[in-house]
Amino acid sequence: MSKLLLYLRTDTFRKNLIGAMIALALLFLGVYFGLQWYTKHGVSIEVPQVKGLHIDDAIQTLEKADLEYSIDYVYQMDAKPGLVMEQDPDPKSQVKTGRTIYLTIITETPPEVAFPDIIDKTFIEASAILRNQSLKIADTVYVADIARDVVLDVKFGGQPLKAGRPIPKGSQITLVLGNGQGADDIEVPNLIGLSLPEARFALSGVGLSLGNITYSGVITDSLSSTIVFQQPDTTAGFVSMGSAVNVTLAN
């Protein structure tokens, strides 16, 4: 024990102790300033505004600012493909150089959806279903069928479209609807102003017949008399094939 105490009092110990303390201090300072340099303590840059830019311009802007970037994709109808929709961190945020900026851009390829079953649905029901699937109605075509405004067929690109087939979101389709009239229904022609032979010819041409013939007033010249009234008239719309149209003639 006495030898240890004697050693602690020697110049050699004091020199070794001072040297160790100096080395420890230098190590601490080296680590401290090294971390300051590595993390660029107190040095930050402002995040540039890239939201609203095309991705090519956004990348060029971030690279000039010594920032990294990560890209995620989202599809949005009627939006320009390649447009930056979101950025994180927000513009004017203070970050260190090399920080990753997360970008969300519009993709050019829309995702696909399975086409829903809308056959035998009313036009209103089908419209709601298609809207929920981000699909659009390009046109409607009416055909003779007693089911009025009911979907009878669907076409995409001029071809029949079956339920379950994958199609891109935003696609435009054509609905084939019933007009509420049977296949044998005929639109009533306008006979007013026609002579009797002309009316008979017009009716036979569309599959209708001439019914009761009445006269208004005194007929002095049957050849010059024309139809002044008909039943049913054009407001009736459609009648069954073979139906008779009653007429009234006058000079």
Residue type, 62: L
| CA 48/CA 94 separation, integer angstroms | 10
**What Rg, from alpha-carbon coordinates, does the chain have?**
44
Tens digits of per-residue pLDDT, 150-190? 999 999 988 999 999 999 888 899 999 988 776 667 888 99
Residue 142: how many other CB atoms lie within 10 Å: 15
Lowest-confidence pick of 73-77, 206-210, 229-233: 73-77
Q: Are 198 and 230 in contact (CB under 8 A)?
A: no
How confident is the model at residue 240, as a pLDDT? 79
Q: Read off the pLDDT of each residue in 78-96 and give the average, rounded to a whole number.
A: 87
The DSSP letter of residue 193 is T
| CA 183/CA 30 separation, integer angstroms | 94
Reference 225, options 197, 190, 189; nearest CA is 197
Contacts (Cβ under 8 Å, ≥6 apart) of 249: 196, 213, 214, 215, 216, 219, 225, 226, 227, 228
Q: What is the pTM of this model?
A: 0.45
Q: Read off the pLDDT of each residue in 213-220 and give the average, rounded to a whole number.
A: 82
- Counts of helices then strands in the chain (DSSP H, E): 5, 16
Tens digits of per-residue pLDDT, 21-58? 787 877 877 776 666 555 555 567 889 999 989 999 99
How confident is the model at residue 148, as a pLDDT? 85
The more confident residue out of 11 and 8 is 11
| CA 110/CA 168 separation, integer angstroms | 6
How confident is the model at residue 33, as a pLDDT? 65
Residue 109: pLDDT band (50, 70, 90) is confident
| CA 100/CA 3 separation, integer angstroms | 62
- Residue 114 β-bridge partners: 166
Place of tokens 């080296």: 30
Backbone angles phi, psi at 191, to 5 degrees: -100, -5
